[in-house]
Every structure is written in structure tokens, then in C-alpha cells.
Structure 1
Amino acid sequence: MLTGEGTKWAIGARREGWSPMCLAIDPRDAARVLCGTFGAGLWISEDGGRDWRQIELAHDKVTALAFDPSEPSTAWAGTELSAVYRSGDGGRTWEEMAALQRLASKPDWFYPPRPEVHYVRCITPHPNEPGRAFVAIEQGGLMSTRDYGETWQDRVPGGPFDIHTLLIHPDAPDRLCAVTGDGFVRAGYGYWESPDAGATWSWPTAGMAHHYLWGLAVDPADPDAMVMSGANCPTALHSPMVGESFIYRRTGNGWVPCGDGLADPRGTIEPLLASSSGEPGTFYALTNKGIFRSVDQGASWQGLEVPWEPQFAVSGPRAIAIAG
């Protein structure tokens, strides 16, 4: 696990047997961090990631985590097989929101590489409405709740099916922005945007040459300034042997490729993107080749000082979370 601030980062805690899948930082207390793993369950740190203790959860494959920005004592966790848990005490204890299991679409959920399973890909709490959250199932579509998970709304017909990242900006609270794998099946359908909290969708993809999309981040000071990552196909995104992934930024005329200061797209896999409310105009990109930072909304990038170990180059990054 890597930790850092600004341009300098270091290798932090190591845990043998962990396979980290997701991270979440409490927006009220940056020392509190949740880490979900594939096979070792859910862990919590109260000191910024130096020490960890395991949290009891019925599932040991934790694939998505989020704190509610409008009510930080509320946290969410998603698992494989697909289940959603909610915490009311900052991540210390959890309860399954079992109504998700009764959705009519559940028999159709599946993950193509392992069709016998499905999992929660991401959880996005609404920035201004406590208890409201959106949950993306890989693959199965987008579900939502307005009452802390007590009841759920099923996916809407014609909505995105394979969401990888979903974001909502607090200054545009009804607009959902999603990067998906749908564009691999239908070119031009990688980036989805809804003006009405998921009731209807459009596909503003002008300028994109790659449509299997992965990461997304939005400027905390500007809901129209975004960066996203993707590739031509799943193999190009995930395989270090033949990988070729790209990062784009959104401008007034559509999407344009980012290149200045980033590593060569050839051999780059699974770029993850992040921003922080404390750094307007700043984006972070984590790839198998390093961590990069932009302070001009993605126009140019700088590689950060990180002790990059050889094994990092041949495996895709799993999660990035920026405090603030």
C-alpha cells in the first residue's frame, strides 16, 4: 500500500495474503480508512493506514466501499456475490441491506469472465442527500436507494449495463456521469451521462477514439472538468503484455487525449483516476507505471516520486483514494 502527500509518496503498510480491491477515506476524519480485499474481508485503520484491524462481515470478497459525504457516519460496502452493507458508525459495524436481493433483475446479473458470479462494482452516495446511493452491479446495471438501502429501485430500461465508475458532483447533484464497458459492444456508448439522476441517459463522446472505459474523476471546483481512462477492448486495458490504455480530459469541444507528462500508453494498464476536494483543478492517475499528478485539469502531468517495485509494473492497480 502506497501513501503520500503532494509529490512525494512512500510504500506504507504491507499485509501478506491481502488482495486489496477498494479503499475509502472518511471525509470527516482522514485517519479513518477502509480497505476491502478479495478473500481477506474488510479492514479498518484509525491512523491513516499504519495499523489495521479486521471488521466482521459475512462476505470475504469486498469489492466496493464509500463514505456518505453528506453524512460521514454512514458508510457503504459492496461484495461478490452482489450484496450491499451499510454502517452507521463510520465503518466499525455493518448490516446487510437485504432488499437488494429481491430485485427482479437479479437472475440476469453475471460477470462475463466468471459467469457464475456477479459483484458490486461501485457505490456512489448522493453528495447532498443522506441515505441516497447508487450501486452498479458487474454486470447487471445501476440500482439506487433513497432510504439507506431499506428499499431499492431496479435498473431502468435502456440504462448502462456495465458501469465501472460512477460520479456525482455536488454542484450538479442530478447529473450522473458513468464510464462503462458498454462501449466495447457498441462503439460510442462508453461514456454515459444522465441529467435526471438516472431516469434518462445520453452519450457525449465526441473526440473519444477508445470506448472501453475504466476510470473517471471530476474537478471538485468544476463539474464540467473531468478526466477519464480507457482502451479499445478489455485485453488492451487489463493485459500488461499487450496493454495500451489512454487518458482523456473533457474540454468545451469534447474529449481530447492527455499525453504531456504521462507514461507511454503502450504497456499501460488499468489507469485509475482521482481528485480531492482540497485541491481544485488537480487530478491523480495511478497506473502500473507510477502515480501521476496534474494541476491544470489534466492538460499536463508530472510523475510523482514513488519507490516503484518491479511487481507493480506487471499488475494493474486496484484502488486509489485521496483525502480531502
Structure 2
Amino acid sequence: MRVLYAGMENELLVLTQSGEGWQTKTKLKGTQPVRVAVDPSDNSIVYCATYGHGLWKSEDAGESWQAIGKPQLYFEPAGDDGIPSPYITFVGTHPMKKGEGAHIVYAGTEPSAVYYSEDGGKHWHEWTAIQHMASKPEWQFPPRPHTHHVRWITPSYADPDHIAVSIEYGAVLFSTDHGSTWQDRPEHSPRDVHTLLAHPSAPGRLYAACGDGFMNASFSYAESDDDGAHWHYKSEGLEKHPYLYNMVLNAADADDRLVSASKGPREAHSSDAASSAIYRKQGEAPFREISRGLPAGSFAHVLTQDPKDTSIFYALNNHGIFFLRTDEDIWKPVDIAWKDEYKHQHPSCFVAGFR
């Protein structure tokens, strides 16, 4: 049974498909979900990062949730195995590396800090070395320039101890010893990576959908073939919409990438100017727009792929959920009930799973 986890501004939508169509349940009301991750070995285990309301875990594919990572109880001193900040901006799992019987879980916060758990989120440890990067004084998040946050944490498929971290805005850092030490941003690397991905069929390659293109269109999209040590830009075709926000890689083809693109941050994120598109890059060909069928006035689309039928991509926006088959060139709406209030909300995260 397919399950879609769709993060809106005020709640997490858990949509399940059965013979009677799609059923939608509202979870984590009022928590501002910003990222969802499904355990690679057990699809019933799901993590949700929220902005201002901490980290949550489900062990029944989104039916029920419990808060995890809490740093302390009210009447007790702060512990050293929790996550002090309630502003969780990323959660993800290592695709291969396990701790005590569970895939290692990673969490990033605002202000920028990185944590990991080897026991499914019961205890957390901070990688403090990133606090000493030379580039840190330049990190900032433009809407809140007094702070910054972890945008993405990406383990390598070439080396399980290699981890890359994107800071918004400021740097892509990487560690070759699973977080003990860190390398600061390399020369010519992107500074505003909104989505940082790796692919099991292309070990050592990193894919970066960047906001850097707003300042220079040639810096919209970047790849590294050595896990972040060196970068090259492949932005041809994105000149009309150079500001990238989200991305999905085709699980069946490491050279097939779909990105969510806008003219700039205002068009991607502001309700009075929302206008976004989707582009696709296959092989070394330039990006080409594939927005046919998507509604006008959309915030930046959030993308995912069906985990069982890789011929289907999904796009979430403020008008609903749409799907595209890989051999077609038009998006079609998923037949679900969509509340009017969602049309004014900015989607934040979108993950497809199954039960």
C-alpha cells in the first residue's frame, strides 16, 4: 500500500492508497513539519523534523507519533544525550550504516548543529567540530540573518564514514571519519545548497540544487564526483528559472534528475508572487522544463518518487499532489481531497513510502 507523507505549514498529511482510493489523515497539527525520513529497512519507522516543536518518530507508518530527542525533563538538569534546539531543520537516515540494530539517524538544527543517534533516536550525540569552521562567521539565513541552519545531511555511497552537510546559507562541509573532523567548504563550491543528494548507482557523486543561481544563473546546479572535494556546475537550460529549491533523483537512473525551480526566492516562497516550474536533466543534456499540467501560482514544488514503481514521480504544491510518468510529459492530479486552506500554505517536505 502506497503512503505519501506531505508536510504543510501547520500539519503533516499522511495519505494512504487502497482499493477505494486515497485516504488522508492529519498528524502533528501545529508543529510546522519541515522534513520526513523513512527507515531504509523498516517502512513502518518514520521520522519527522519540525521547526520549533522538536523531533518526532512513528513506528506504525505515521498512524501515531512520539516526541524524541528531548534534552531534559522540567525538574531535571539538562542532559547530554538530547537535542537542545526545538528548531529541527533536517532529519535523515544512513542508507547502509547501522548502530544498535537500527540505521543511524541524523538531525540538523537552527542554529547550525549536527546530531546523530545509533539507537533509533533514544540518545543523541553532537558533532561539535563543525562549530569551529573558518567559514562560520559568514553563515546566515537571509530571512533571519542573525542565524543559520543545517539544510541537508548526506552520507556517501562510496564510503559509509563520509558525510556531507549543507548549511543554509554558507557552506557544504564534509567529514571522512563520520563526524570526528570536518573539512570546510572547498574553493568554488556552492554556498546555498537547498537539496544535497547522493545515488547508490553513482558512488562518490553529490548532486546540489542551489539558490546560488539567483545571483548568478550559471551556479544553479552543481555536482561533485569526489564527495564534495571539487565541484562543477551544469546549469544549462535553467536561465529562465535559476533559483532551485528541491530535487529528486530517479532511483533507476543516476543520470536522471528533476528539480523545482523559480525565478528567485520571492517567486518560490512568497504568496503574492508564487510561480514555480519543474525541470529535468537526463545525462549531459541541458535541463528542460516539464511543467505542463501543473497549476499556476504554485510555491516551490516538493518532489519525490514512488518507492516501488520508479516510473512515477510526484510533486507537492499548495494546489495539491500531482504525478508524472517517466515516459510522459504532462503532470496529472492525484485524486485526493484538498482543503482550501492548503492553497495558501507553503509545502515543506514530501516523501513516498509503503506499508
TM-score under structure 2 length normalisation: 0.86
1:234 partner amino acid:
P
Shift in alpha-carbon separation, 1:220–1:6, aligned structure 2, 3 A? farther
Give how far 1:206 is off: 2.0
- Match of 1:261, SS? coil
- Match of 2:218, SS? coil
* 1:259 lines up with 2:259 in the alignment: no
Shift in alpha-carbon separation, 1:168–1:107, aligned structure 2, 3 A? same
- Match of 1:156, SS? coil
Shift in alpha-carbon separation, 1:136–1:110, aligned structure 2, 3 A? same
| Contact 2:321 2:334 (8 Å CA) reproduced | yes
Larger Rg: 2
Q: 2:119 aligns with which of 89, 98, 101?
A: 89
Shift in alpha-carbon separation, 1:64–1:58, aligned structure 2, 3 A? same
Give how far 1:297 is off: 6.1
Q: Distance in 1 between matches of 2:338 and 2:190?
A: 36
* 1:299 lines up with 2:329 in the alignment: yes
1:46 partner amino acid:
E
* 1:308 lines up with 2:341 in the alignment: no
Q: Deviations over 1:46-83 (max 9, x none)?
A: 11111111112211000011100012521100000000
Range with greater deviation from structure 2 (139-148 or 61-70): 139-148
5+ residue gaps, structure 1: none
Q: 1:15 aligns with which of 28, 42, 47?
A: 28
| Contact 2:248 2:259 (8 Å CA) reproduced | yes
Shift in alpha-carbon separation, 1:216–1:246, aligned structure 2, 3 A? same
Q: 2:244 aligns with which of 197, 210, 213?
A: 213
Q: 1:65 aligns with which of 91, 97, 108?
A: 91
5+ residue gaps, structure 2: 1-11, 71-82
* 1:80 lines up with 2:80 in the alignment: no
Q: Distance in 1 between matches of 2:223 and 2:328?
A: 20
Q: Distance in 2 between matches of 1:202 and 1:6?
A: 41
> Counterpart in 1 of 2:66?
53
Give how far 1:5 is off: 4.7
Q: Distance in 2 between matches of 1:111 and 1:297?
A: 38
| Contact 2:47 2:91 (8 Å CA) reproduced | yes
Q: Report which structure shows greater RCO (CA 8 Å, sep ≥6).
A: 2
* 1:114 lines up with 2:144 in the alignment: yes
Q: Deviations over 1:186-212 (max 9, x none)?
A: 122111112222222222222222101
Q: Distance in 1 between matches of 2:352 and 2:163?
A: 20
1:61 partner amino acid:
Y
- Match of 1:172, SS? coil
> Counterpart in 2 of 1:3?
14
* 1:318 lines up with 2:341 in the alignment: no
Q: Deviations over 1:279-301 (max 9, x none)?
A: 32321111111111122167332
1:284 partner amino acid:
Y
> Counterpart in 1 of 2:276?
245
2:54 partner amino acid:
G
Give how far 1:276 is off: 4.4
Alignment map for 1:162-201 (pairs within 5 Å): 162-201=192-231
Q: Distance in 1 between matches of 2:46 and 2:90?
A: 13
| Contact 1:38 1:61 (8 Å CA) reproduced | yes
> Counterpart in 1 of 2:73?
none
- Match of 1:100, SS? helix
Range with greater deviation from structure 2 (177-186 or 14-23): 14-23
| Contact 2:162 2:175 (8 Å CA) reproduced | yes
Range with greater deviation from structure 2 (13-22 or 103-112): 13-22
TM-score under structure 1 length normalisation: 0.94
Shift in alpha-carbon separation, 1:62–1:69, aligned structure 2, 3 A? same
Q: Distance in 2 between matches of 1:235 and 1:58?
A: 31
Identity across matched positions, percent: 38
Number of residue equivalences: 322
* 1:233 lines up with 2:264 in the alignment: yes
Range with greater deviation from structure 2 (81-90 or 299-308): 299-308
Give how far 1:6 is off: 5.8
Shift in alpha-carbon separation, 1:276–1:127, aligned structure 2, 3 A? farther
